Amino acid sequence: MSYITISNNQSVPSGTIPVMEYSQFLDMMIALTDNHPERHCVLYFGYREKDSVHLICCIADDLQHTIMISSSVVKKESVLNSFSARNISFEKFEREIHENFGIGYTDHPWLKPVRYPENRADRSSVISGYPFFSIGSEELHEVGVGPVHAGIIEPGHFRFVCNGEQILHLEIQLGYQHRGVEQLFLDRKKLIERTTLAESIAGDSVIGHTTAFSYLWESLGGIVQDEETLFSRTLAQEIERIAIHTGDLSGICTDVAYQLGSSVFGRLRTPIINFFQEWCGNRLSKGLIRAGYNPFPFNRELAGRLIEILDAFEPDFIEMCADISRLPSTLSRFERTGMLKYEQLLSIGTVGMSARMHTLDRDIRASHPYGIYSSLNHIPVIKHHGDVYSRVQIRKEEVLQSIGYIRTMLKKIPESATSGRIDPVLKPSTFGISLTEGWRGEICHAAITDENGELLIYKVKDPSFHNWLALALAVRNNEISDFPVSNKSFDLSYCGHDL
């Protein structure tokens, strides 16, 4: 077989990635993923090589705990057969390749712009001219919302096709948040600049993204982390999960007008993020994770504070969760709302909690463990209905699970970090990939260096890149008034998608 197999956080000489002829590349990637629910594409991207585009595809195998990588080189103006026509989970990746490099596809089902990046191939395509799907019917009507939404949230434009109150179709247009993140990773040369960029990819997933960046950087630089750093990063990841899940439960209650839940979950989040401030000076943990060293080693005093905070948090959290599972007024809004089936989730390549809401077991902590997850014997929380209520239950159970992990971890805090600060020198002509399980799901960072050890390409993938389509499909046949709660229960990232 013409692919190489590596594990998470491993880097290899870029020359060892096989280069295949495109049609074979296509057949192989489809063969690897079709009828293999345990495998999915974690990253498929291209980069310029003179007049050509070098395509690299990375398929993760959750049972083997490996990532299979292959590549193909195609001419810039090529028109290719698409992967998407045979496996729809590739659709977004191919749209991105089309938008960035002008590569055409003969049989792509939905070849539309993804984010209107500054360096897109077709400069004449502008965000205000996005080609929305239009129904052309006298009975149906279209509802447009955004890009500036009613709440304090990021921008995106949603176009609903409705039959009265019923949503038949929703198209989500993104790209408003495009800041040129991937390009800036190349332009900015200092590690602190690049780390700050990683921290700013999605401010609600600072730990998830900065951890992926750091592991990738260390793997490209050949650095092995000490036990304390692995411990601190894992701990921080679980605290971030508790904070955001709790905040989202507040938002979900707001969207069904359940004021008590909204206030209580809202205030329960406060001590958790304040703990980040006690640890590193910032409520959203910016500054806590650094490649090459650990600036804020965890200690006994912090452990004591964290236990105090969790002891106060847990009973109130459980009490509030019990209430929302008891009230007919909340349950009637949660159950069978925004539902997706297993087959749909699998076909579009959903990841993270949005996959786990309906038996699709995708969790990097278990399938491609990093940090100290192996020693925690993590078992993903899986639900079976794929509706808003499943997403509520996942958040609740994951919060309690994370608290359990933290309590276990705090029984044995490793000694303070021994190694000093290292600014990793990247190996030349090397490919590296890093996966972490943020609270939304799988975060992927990958990079290739040139012969001087300078970055040639830096790629970032937020779980939202896979999951926005899940939201669009979930609201079909729902009332339009149920959209906000469905949306909040996924809580996808705009800037993480737009980059």
Partner 1 sequence: MLKTVKILYHQGKQFIPDLRKARVPGIFTGRPEISLAKVDEKALINCCPTGAITAAPVSIDLGKCTFCSECVRLFPGKVRFTTDYRMATNERNRLIIKEGINVSVTLNPEIIRKEIHKLFGGSLKLRQVSAAGDNSCELELNACGNVNFDMGRYGIEFVASPRHADGIVITGPISKNMAGPLQMTYDATPSPKIIILAGTDAISGGIFAGSAAIDRSFIEKNHIDLYVPGNPVHPLAFINGVADLLGI
Q: Considering only 114-122, 334-342, 448-456, 458-466, which stretch makes contact with partner 1 by CB under 8 A?
A: 114-122
295 binds partner 1 (CB under 8 A): yes
Distance, in Å, from the CA atom of 398 to the CA atom of 377, rounded to the nearest integer, reads 14
Return the number of the residue (3 or 279) whose C-beta is nearest partner 1: 279
Q: How far is the CB of 77 from partner 1 (least distance, A)?
A: 24
99 binds partner 1 (CB under 8 A): no
218 binds partner 1 (CB under 8 A): no
Tokens representing 434 are 């890093």
Is residue 41 within 8 A of residue 89, CB to CB? The reply is yes
Return the number of the residue (147 or 424) whose C-beta is nearest partner 1: 147
Q: Considering only 10-18, 101-109, 279-287, 359-367, which stretch makes contact with partner 1 by CB under 8 A?
A: 279-287
Q: How far is the CB of 441 from partner 1 (least distance, A)?
A: 16
Return the number of the residue (155 or 428) whose C-beta is nearest partner 1: 155
435 binds partner 1 (CB under 8 A): no
Q: Is 283 exposed, middle or buried (0-12, 13-18, 19+ CB in 10 A)?
A: middle
Peptide bond into 328 cis (omega under 30): no
Question: Between residue 313 and residue 352, which ones bind partner 1 under the rule CB under 8 A?
Answer: 315-316, 319-320, 323, 326
Is residue 459 within 8 A of residue 432, CB to CB? The reply is no
78 binds partner 1 (CB under 8 A): no
Question: Between residue 178 and residue 217, which ones bind partner 1 under the rule CB under 8 A?
Answer: 178-180, 183-184, 188, 190, 192-193, 195-197, 200-204, 206
CB contact set of 366 (below 8 Å; sequence gap of 6+): 62, 373, 378, 379, 380
Return the number of the residue (108 or 286) whose C-beta is nearest partner 1: 286
Is residue 269 within 8 A of residue 235, CB to CB? The reply is no
Tokens representing 247 are 């905040």
Q: How far is the CB of 10 from partner 1 (least distance, A)?
A: 28
Residue 419 DSSP one-character state: S
95 binds partner 1 (CB under 8 A): no
143 binds partner 1 (CB under 8 A): no
Q: How far is the CB of 118 from partner 1 (least distance, A)?
A: 4
Among 109, 131, 144, 151, binds partner 1 (CB under 8 A): 151
Q: What is the DSSP string of 338-385?
A: S---HHHHHHHT--THHHHTBT----HHHHS--TTHHHHT------BS
18 binds partner 1 (CB under 8 A): no
Distance, in Å, from the CA atom of 366 to the CA atom of 234, rounded to the nearest integer, reads 13
CB contact set of 55 (below 8 Å; sequence gap of 6+): 22, 25, 44, 45, 46, 71, 72, 73, 74, 97
Is residue 146 within 8 A of residue 140, CB to CB? The reply is no
Distance, in Å, from the CA atom of 356 to the CA atom of 363, rounded to the nearest integer, reads 8
280 binds partner 1 (CB under 8 A): yes
Question: Between residue 153 and residue 182, which ones bind partner 1 under the rule CB under 8 A?
Answer: 153-155, 175-180
Is residue 499 within 8 A of residue 179, CB to CB? The reply is yes
Among 35, 124, 128, 452, binds partner 1 (CB under 8 A): 128
Q: How far is the CB of 283 from partner 1 (least distance, A)?
A: 7
471 binds partner 1 (CB under 8 A): no
235 binds partner 1 (CB under 8 A): no
Question: β-pairing, 442-449 with 455-461?
Answer: antiparallel
Distance, in Å, from the CA atom of 494 to the CA atom of 151, rounded to the nearest integer, reads 14
Q: How far is the CB of 221 from partner 1 (least distance, A)?
A: 18
CB contact set of 115 (below 8 Å; sequence gap of 6+): 96, 99, 174, 175, 178, 497, 498, 499
303 binds partner 1 (CB under 8 A): no
264 binds partner 1 (CB under 8 A): yes
Q: Which residues contact partner 1 (rule: CB under 8 A)?
A: 116-119, 127-128, 147-148, 150-155, 175-180, 183-184, 188, 190, 192-193, 195-197, 200-204, 206, 247, 260, 263-264, 266-267, 270, 274-275, 277-284, 286-287, 295, 315-316, 319-320, 323, 326, 493-495, 498
